[in-house]
Structure 1
């Protein structure tokens, strides 16, 4: 039954797209985020579902959609530059077979991030993309939250729809994304027009935010805890009653800790004492190896360059006997360990030039969203109050991603590249409509003297 429903849903998307080709763009977002072909065990599992909707979204825009308001932005040019550089590094990669496997999905994610802003010509389209992205990710999040409440969590043990450890189905990645979309959930609840703000929308939004907060607990991913803490600090920055909120947050944490599983609190404790955790020690060793590798290979080693690393590091374990505690140092050896950081992933795979392009892409997004926030925050017109909050929400989502990516190799995560595409689309759209809004204000006829006097 699930397989038939998923298949019928996607067939309906294909049919409706013949009249509204932008729906194929939304369908691709849904397919690429949720991966229904992985959940399915029947028809969809045997079809190149992602490729079908990827091709349909491009064909629909080229052949059927209006392109008069499409604009190419500076950040899209940066993505093109990154795409070309990654193509070159793949050709010259240290491990060509493994690099080609990663390139097979990275190029598609980058191409779609370049293409998506060209389709975002209206507010409705921008909102629709954000809505589909949030709801598609929320399907995984709600599933994980329910299982967490039922006691089915654990590091590497929480299973979502399928027993899969790639994309958003990986614990650390979904933990980062779950926290990153919280600002977007709040924006949709306040300013959404597809589902206008009312008690039903807010009830679902609050429940979804609670589910997002449960994901770091269910996956026991330290990345999620860090992201949640950063988001709390960012919201406190602009809160009116910050001391009251801080007290409530501290009280909530104090009440929640006794109910958390011992395995969760033990794992979170390794954030402070990383030397006692082999995983954390390995990451530090990989990062040290990457710095040395880039010193000899400034242009990087291509995708999956980490396969060439050989590590030697020390861990410290506390052994207690009675009232005596002894610290025991053990030497560990390992190899072919992943970067576990987007920054070191870019540095090791794409070298210094690739890292600079990627950082420019990220930092320019933060700057552009801040410009939009300041430009629109004091406007009071009937259709001028959603822009600044959306810019802030996209900025917060990106900040959470940048902190979370310190500990997870998600430099090319498609969901994040989609968010960058939405930022580019918002920047282009507002840059196009703002002069028109200003022109309408300037063209308003002056008030008659008598009316002005009465008003005064």
Structure 2
């Protein structure tokens, strides 16, 4: 049934996407994050939806009239420079070239999505469609899995689909947390228009919190806590938010198992946790890899190559200040388990500097856009959108500290949205405000210059006639 529905609606969607490239742009991250191939079978499962929609987006843009003026700015320059850096690091990789180039090819598609976000998106509607695509992909999957978690009384372990970009439950948990601020924006903008959307989005937000707990991811739990604190500080409705948090925590306690509690308790004793210290060992090996290849690192997934990891382990005790406790390099290679050490090992110190620049400037520019609009008295939706994107980037930066998740599609999509905010939406809103104020001032001046009507002459009192 799902196959027939998807195959039946696909031609209509393709036509709409071709006529309106921004619809295709919104569907691009949806197919990447929703992974429709994992939901269908037969001929419907053999179609490469993401590649098909990416192609429609590109063709639609090429034939589009009145293309918006393109300005990438500092953030765009950093993202493109980072991609150029990864290309060089792949060419000089010390790992397996065939593996590095496969990963580079996948990352090039992520950068293509980023580029076309900047090329096409220019209006509120365009950005809303993109954000709805995230909510209807990650949010839908999180809600579905959370309902299973609740129905099982907390026994269902939430994981991603096999072969999907969000297949790992830890990475899936961070994606859930990143989606929460996006749902907050959509709730404020569309919840007041239809009761069903309001109830639905509130339900999705609650279920995403349940879904994070259901993954039993410590990184996701930390990201959720820090996002909650950050959101509380930025919220104008702290009392209402506090009440909602208390209610949500009270309900969650009925589904949290003792196993989950014990797992979260290991956060306080991380230095004695074998799993965590095993990650610290890989962090140290990634650092050694960067020290030996400081400019371009080892290339994509070099540290996951056993021969490379073994070679780096020879210098393991040369950096005694890098504390790993009693943990030592094991007899197999592991992923870096940190976006920061992942980039450091893959791309060297230069690549890490570019990547950190992308994270910092996207976060700061989104915050600056929100503050500028608020001070100018501009549209509330614009400042809320900028704040939501900033919170989502913050959640990624925190949650990704213990995950090999550096090249995630959604974070580079958010980079593109920040550029659109900075170079198009915010200037357009400020221009609109300036024009409105000029018109109001001109009207006030013209009113002041119009002479007031002369007062009517006072009647002369009649004089008494002489006798």
Structure 1 and Structure 2 fold alike (TM over 0.5): yes
What CA distance in whole angstroms lies between the structure 2 residues aligned with 1:34 and 1:430?
28
What CA distance in whole angstroms lies between the structure 1 residues aligned with 2:241 and 2:27?
39
Aligned positions of 1:187-336 closer than 5 A: 187-192=185-190, 197-239=193-235, 249=245, 253=249, 256-257=252-253, 259-298=255-294, 299-306=296-303, 307=305, 308-310=308-310, 333-336=330-333
What CA distance in whole angstroms lies between the structure 2 residues aligned with 1:18 and 1:239?
39
The answer as to 2:407 corresponding to 1:412 is yes
Q: Tell me the equivalent position of 2:120.
A: 119
CA 1:33–1:332: 2 relative to 1, 3 Å: closer
Aligned positions of 1:5-404 closer than 5 A: 5-94=5-94, 95-151=96-152, 157-159=157-159, 162=161, 164=162, 166-192=164-190, 197-239=193-235, 249=245, 253=249, 256-257=252-253, 259-298=255-294, 299-306=296-303, 307=305, 308-310=308-310, 333-380=330-377, 384-404=379-399
Could you say which structure has the higher strand fraction?
1
Q: CA deviation at 1:65?
A: 4.3
Tell whether the 8 Å contact from 2:83 to 2:111 is kept in structure 1 after alignment.
yes
1:44-103 deviations in whole A, cap 9, x for unaligned?
322232212111101101112431444333222222111111111111112212112211
Q: Tell me the equivalent position of 2:456.
A: none
| Structure 1 counterpart SS, 2:31 | helix
CA 1:214–1:3: 2 relative to 1, 3 Å: same
Unaligned 5+ residue runs, structure 1?
A: 314-328
What CA distance in whole angstroms lies between the structure 2 residues aligned with 1:215 and 1:356?
33
What CA distance in whole angstroms lies between the structure 1 residues aligned with 2:367 and 2:6?
39
Q: CA deviation at 1:248?
A: 7.4
CA 1:64–1:218: 2 relative to 1, 3 Å: same
Tell whether the 8 Å contact from 1:126 to 1:426 is kept in structure 2 after alignment.
no
What CA distance in whole angstroms lies between the structure 2 residues aligned with 1:159 and 1:176?
12
| Structure 1 counterpart SS, 2:330 | strand
Q: CA deviation at 1:15?
A: 1.7
Work out which of the two has the higher radius of gyration on C-alpha atoms and give 1 or 2. Answer: 2
| Structure 2 counterpart SS, 1:366 | helix
What CA distance in whole angstroms lies between the structure 2 residues aligned with 1:452 and 1:396?
55
What CA distance in whole angstroms lies between the structure 1 residues aligned with 2:155 and 2:50?
30
Q: Tell me the equivalent position of 1:426.
A: 421
CA 1:26–1:8: 2 relative to 1, 3 Å: farther
1:121-148 deviations in whole A, cap 9, x for unaligned?
1111111111112112112111211111
1:95-117 deviations in whole A, cap 9, x for unaligned?
21211221121111012112212
Unaligned 5+ residue runs, structure 2?
A: 317-325, 453-467
What CA distance in whole angstroms lies between the structure 2 residues aligned with 1:243 and 1:38?
42
Number of residue pairs aligned between Structure 1 and Structure 2: 431
CA 1:23–1:251: 2 relative to 1, 3 Å: closer
Q: CA deviation at 1:274?
A: 2.4
Give 1:442's match in structure 2, choosing from 417, 422, 438. Answer: 438
Q: TM-score, normalised by structure 2?
A: 0.85
CA 1:78–1:152: 2 relative to 1, 3 Å: farther
Q: TM-score, normalised by structure 1?
A: 0.86
Q: CA deviation at 1:243?
A: 8.2
What CA distance in whole angstroms lies between the structure 2 residues aligned with 1:90 and 1:8?
41
What CA distance in whole angstroms lies between the structure 1 residues aligned with 2:347 and 2:234?
37
What CA distance in whole angstroms lies between the structure 2 residues aligned with 1:402 and 1:438?
36
Q: CA deviation at 1:411?
A: 0.9
Q: CA deviation at 1:236?
A: 2.6
